[in-house]
Structure 1
Amino acid sequence: MTAAPPAQSGERTEEPPAAATGRGGLGARDRHLVRLVCLASSGATEALAARVREVLEREEIGLGDLLEFVLHYAVYAGWPRGSELEAIVRLQWASVHGEGSEHRATWPALESDTPLNEETTRERVRAGEEAFRTVNRVEAPCPDSPFVEAGMLAFVFGHVWRRPGLTVRERRLVAISACASAGAVHPLRHHLRSALASSDLSTADLRELIAEIDGRVPAMATAALRDGLRDGRPDRPRGPDHH
């Protein structure tokens, strides 16, 4: 969960051609999530702020779900990028809904008595192992390091992937897009393989995803996605980086 470098070609901010937006596969909400990932990873903060404001003004993604997206994005893109995105969401929300706005609203309070918050660390790790198997379609790694036990099993899968707000399908889209933006081909192939194996994302969905991110992420990432989709079974990664 270290910070990922910005995408080398992720600063493309213009809309893709109409042929890439009108086909089936990904819905409008899916596309917003993918584009937000690419913009946040590119460091193009002005374009990112404009996109966040557009989403908030049109209410195409609710604030609660948008904040869940920030957390999930931070897991896969790195905490500094997540922190930057959270700050932009807060600033744009205040601009749209803050004092003096005709659309004034109150920042939502977090629920503190959820079942997730009441679990012990041991329970969280066990739940994370089960969630890891479900999401990744492989056996969970042995919790023999801080990264695996506290980071991957207790936090990423024991907590984040089990949170409400985003669907598993949406979380897969965010994870794949973030790995592609970072140029992290090894985990990218794994996420593609597990998405196909789970049927959470169809081949049509993934073709649309490639069309969305092409030109926004490193070329080696789109090449890996195309190769994996063509083969139907991307290489399975080794070691504890199935995050």
Structure 2
Amino acid sequence: MTLLDPQQRTARGLALQAEILDLRAPEAATLYDQSWRDFIFAEVWSRDALDRRSRYLIALASAANTGHRAMATAYARGALKNGDLTLAELREAATHAAIYCGWSAGALFDEAVSTAADALGLPPADVPPIRAEPWQHDARMADGMAAFIDVMTFGGPPAKTAYFEAGINGYVFGEIWNRPGLDQRARRWITLVGVCDSAAYTPIHTHIYAAMKSGNTTQSEMFEFILQYAIHAGWPKASVAQGAVIEQGAQVAKGLAFGAKETDA
């Protein structure tokens, strides 16, 4: 049996930590510091089953959602410096995160991006306004319902409450998911962080199902998401989300609609 060398793992962790965060890795002063170096960077970020762009988005949203300002800033700096995400894309990402993680987390995300951009001397991003032209209410509702089907792969709720009308159909799907400044796959990762943190069955299962059913992600990539997400969310929340990936992955593999049983097919 081949033995794995702890010194090699440490060296890999130091190198990846410096590369991913664009910061010289400090000496690990405590056992906790060693866990970042030897596990999170050496063993999680080094995995090649999920691209680094996706990992940055998951990490940024997770750090912001748990109030870890320093790590959110470090992730933003690394993503910008390494060219995995542009400043304009990160502005879109922060705005998207505000929906699913809450505007307080969105503020932390956006501030982390600003701090990183300032440190790198980047000019302001050219980001189109949320809505530049006048619009008709019913047209925006129609856009939202169409976008809901495109994103979720099934029809949305009727706009009979303020939350469904103004929130879901009007703003979330009528405006934000339609924005071209950030691709749908990228928006998925941010959304998944927020819904998995909610610990609410329906958002977790519907969004995990839609992520795979739409073709934005594979089940294998979703398992990688779970491990990356666990770093800031913790193992218990990740365990709940992994159960949903297993369940909804089987649903998608069988070609079943969300919530449908094989006997219904």
TM-score if structure 2 supplies the norm length?
0.73
Asked if the contact 2:53–2:79 (Cα under 8 Å) also holds between the matched residues in 1, the reply is: no
Rounded to whole Å, the distance in 2 between the matches of 1:55 and 1:90 is 13
Asked if the contact 2:67–2:108 (Cα under 8 Å) also holds between the matched residues in 1, the reply is: no
1:19 Cα offset (Å): 4.1
Question: SS at the partner of 1:106?
Answer: coil
After the TM superposition, which residues 215-226 of structure 1 pair with which residues of structure 2 at under 5 Å, given as runs?
215-226=231-242
167, 181, 203: which one aligns with 2:183: 167
Q: Deviations over 1:184-235 (max 9, x none)?
A: 4431111111112222110111011112122421444322322222222399
> Which residue in 2 is equivalent to 1:155?
171
67, 83, 103: which one aligns with 2:107: 83
> Which residue in 2 is equivalent to 1:142?
158
Farther off after superposition, 122-131 or 219-228: 219-228
| Structure ID, larger Rg | 2
> Which residue in 1 is equivalent to 2:251?
233
Q: Which has the higher contact order (CA 8 A, sep 6+)?
A: 1
Q: Which has the higher helix share?
A: 2
Asked if the contact 2:73–2:116 (Cα under 8 Å) also holds between the matched residues in 1, the reply is: yes
Question: Which amino acid counterpart does residue 86 of structure 1 have in structure 2?
Answer: D
After the TM superposition, which residues 1-243 of structure 1 pair with which residues of structure 2 at under 5 Å, given as runs?
14=36, 16=40, 18-97=42-121, 105-111=122-128, 117-231=133-247, 232-233=250-251
Unaligned runs of 5+ in 2: 1-31, 260-265
Rounded to whole Å, the distance in 1 between the matches of 2:131 and 2:48 is 37
CA separation of 1:153/1:210 partners in 2, compared to 1, >3 Å: closer, same or farther?
same
Rounded to whole Å, the distance in 2 between the matches of 1:26 and 1:175 is 17
Question: Which amino acid counterpart does residue 156 of structure 2 have in structure 1?
Answer: A
Asked if the contact 1:116–1:159 (Cα under 8 Å) also holds between the matched residues in 2, the reply is: no
Rounded to whole Å, the distance in 2 between the matches of 1:117 and 1:63 is 24
CA separation of 1:18/1:218 partners in 2, compared to 1, >3 Å: closer, same or farther?
closer
Question: Which amino acid counterpart does residue 176 of structure 1 have in structure 2?
Answer: L
Q: Deviations over 1:22-51 (max 9, x none)?
A: 444321100100110111111111222222
Instruction: State the identity as a percent.
Output: 22
Rounded to whole Å, the distance in 2 between the matches of 1:178 and 1:117 is 30
Q: How many residues align?
A: 219
Q: Deviations over 1:149-200 (max 9, x none)?
A: 1111010001100001221111111111222234344311111111122221
Alignment RMSD:
2.7
1:84 Cα offset (Å): 2.1
Rounded to whole Å, the distance in 1 between the matches of 2:258 and 2:236 is 17
Rounded to whole Å, the distance in 2 between the matches of 1:108 and 1:200 is 26
Question: SS at the partner of 1:158?
Answer: helix
Farther off after superposition, 158-167 or 114-123: 114-123
Rounded to whole Å, the distance in 1 between the matches of 2:131 and 2:97 is 23
Asked if the contact 2:88–2:126 (Cα under 8 Å) also holds between the matched residues in 1, the reply is: no
Question: Which amino acid counterpart does residue 14 of structure 1 have in structure 2?
Answer: W
Rounded to whole Å, the distance in 2 between the matches of 1:27 and 1:133 is 27
Unaligned runs of 5+ in 1: 1-10, 98-104, 238-243
Asked if the contact 1:185–1:224 (Cα under 8 Å) also holds between the matched residues in 2, the reply is: no
Rounded to whole Å, the distance in 1 between the matches of 2:190 and 2:126 is 24
